[in-house]
Amino acid sequence: MNMFGLTIKTEAQEPLFTSERTDDIFGYTIIFGALSLFMANLNINSKRLNQTLLNLGRIGSTPQGMQRLAFTQYDIDARDMTLSLMRSAGLHTRIDPAGNIIARKEGTSSDLAAITLGSHIDTVPNGGKYDGALGVMGAIEVAQTLEETQTKLRHPLEIAVFTNEEGTRFKRWLFGSRAMAGLLQSDDETAADDEGIPMSSRLADIGGNMLQISKAPRQVSEISAYFELHIEQGPELHQSGVPIGVVTGITGRWVYGVEIIGVANHAGTTPMSGRQDALVSASQLVLAVQRMASDLEICRVGTVGNIQSYTNAANVIPGRISLGVEFRDVDMNCLAAADQELRKLANQIEQKDRVTITITQFENTESVQIKPTMQNLVEQAANLTGLSHKRLPSGAGHDAQAMANITDTAMIFVPSVNGISHAPEEYSNPEDCSNGTQVLLNLLMLADERLRNN
Ligand code: GLV
Ligand code: MN
Ligand code: MN
């Protein structure tokens, strides 16, 4: 059972490596021993990593929190800083049609596919400095360490910075990673923001090209594995005092726009009995979403995180309200049940309040299970780093979830102080950020040694 009260089904173990580690494979034990001795000398620079994180955290920082939403000038400035760090780490950089930054260094074996590290640097409104940023700055620190120590990998190394992971702009989350994984749908290409500005024009601002978007997907044969370091964004590691989380699976997420149309009228003259107040109906739906997850336990969590009143004046009865609703669960059947319940309750409110409710589904993201072989590899990397670890599922969504469509993925979590994230108080202490980055480096070294040829 996991913290969601669900048992995650695990797949049958697949042979992932050229030779699985067992004590009776003599030759392999020697290789493993040699590798761990070598890795003992390969240490990331903790001071530099944390300074880089601080520097990135200044871009888009306001008293209300981070405002580095995708495609904003803050995002563009942060991308520039990231590109220059990547080049200093000896990587060759390019921007793909989805605006993803892809940095690469060739390996010594020309027949091997890349091992990709990545995450995102966009934030939610009033967000924190670590969500996504740690994965990107950690990956660059890993590349810089390899560069300084002249350490050659067999596989090409890639670092991906994915466009619009948060999806606050254009309601198209995981945009860059879905593009790379071949998961975009036609409405992704025609998306516009609330002011009607098409995403294609914003994409051009960051060097992408919507007309070329069909060239963004990578082939399965191009990437051997994808690894993402991330803050946990929940309380489990912080509460248990365990420094490293080994992610077992990533939640599914269904997101809706709900529009409620009533009748706008004068707040002073319209009798209470005759009103069709869209905000009163919306309030009932907000409570219904909360009850669906907390009391009825139809799915793990349900949230109304966004509300807009189009008149928004104290002396006008609200005639039009829009809500942003989401449900999350690793069990997709629970999300289907939540969808049905939402529509049923909306229908009841419509009848009772004489309003019209339109429900549009914006996102339908599948949950992902991380292969046991990949979880084992993260555990071995943590053991080599001398750090304790625990397995846990992710209640947040990640680019790794899209990348799982085209390659084996693994995720490393580090503690979030008090479990706070998507808020200005989001914080992971420097030691935990360094620990996670060292595990990422060790994971990369293990995978470079052990992943079979593609
Ligand atoms: C991404 O940050 C999410 O909303 O889980
Ligand atoms: Mn994130
Ligand atoms: Mn986030």
For residue 231, what are the contacts with CB-CB under 8 A and spacing of at least 6? 130, 131, 134, 413, 414, 415, 416, 421, 426, 428
Q: How far is the CA of 167 from the centre of ligand 3 (A)?
A: 9
Residue type, 170: F
Q: How far is the CA of 193 from the centre of ligand 2 (A)?
A: 21
User: Which tens digit of pLDDT belongs to each residue from 55-73?
Assistant: 999 999 999 999 999 999 9
For residue 46, what are the contacts with CB-CB under 8 A and spacing of at least 6? 430, 431, 434, 437
Ligand nearest to the CA of 395: 1
User: Which tens digit of pLDDT belongs to each residue from 162-185?
Assistant: 999 999 989 899 999 999 999 999
How many Cα neighbours within 13 Å face the side chain of 158? 20
Contact (CB, 8 A) for 70 and 179: no
Q: How far is the CA of 414 from the centre of ligand 2 (A)?
A: 13
Angle at Cα 173 formed by Cα 84 and Cα 235, nearest 5°?
85
Q: What is the DSSP secondary structure assignment for residue 12, as one 8-state letter?
A: P
**Phi, psi (rounded to 5 degrees) for 287:** -65, -35
Q: What is d(CA 324, CA 416) in angstroms, rounded to the nearest whole number?
A: 26
Atom of ligand 1 nearest to the CA of 131: 2
Does the structure show a pLDDT above 70 at 31? no
| Of 337, 277, 331, 329, nearest in space to 303 by CA | 329
Q: How far is the CA of 164 from the centre of ligand 2 (A)?
A: 10
Q: What are the DSSP calls for 289-344, one per residue?
A: HHHHHHTS-SSSEEEEEEEEESS--TTEE--EEEEEEEEEES-HHHHHHHHHHHHH
Residue 42 vs residues 142, 147, 438: alpha-carbon distances, Å: 10, 11, 9
Split at pLDDT 50, 70, 90, the class of 39 is low
Atom of ligand 1 nearest to the CA of 421: 2
Structure tokens at 106: 């060739």
The pTM assigned to this predicted structure is 0.90
Cα of 268 vs its chain's centroid, Å: 47
**Residue 418 has what pLDDT?**
98
Instruction: Tell me which of 366, 422, 426 to substitute to probe ligand 1's pocket, judged by most ligand atoms within 8 Å of the beta carbon.
Output: 422
Question: Average pLDDT, stretch 250-271?
Answer: 97
Contact (CB, 8 A) for 102 and 197: no
Instruction: Tell me which of 255, 398, 411 to substitute to probe ligand 1's pocket, judged by most ligand atoms within 8 Å of the beta carbon.
Output: 398
**Phi, psi (rounded to 5 degrees) for 175:** -60, -50
**Whose C-alpha lies nearest to ligand 1, atom 1?**
397
Does the structure show a pLDDT above 80 at 340? yes
Does the structure show a pLDDT above 60 at 19? no
Question: Average pLDDT, stretch 80-84?
Answer: 98
pLDDT cut 90: percent of the chain above it: 86
Ligand nearest to the CA of 421: 3
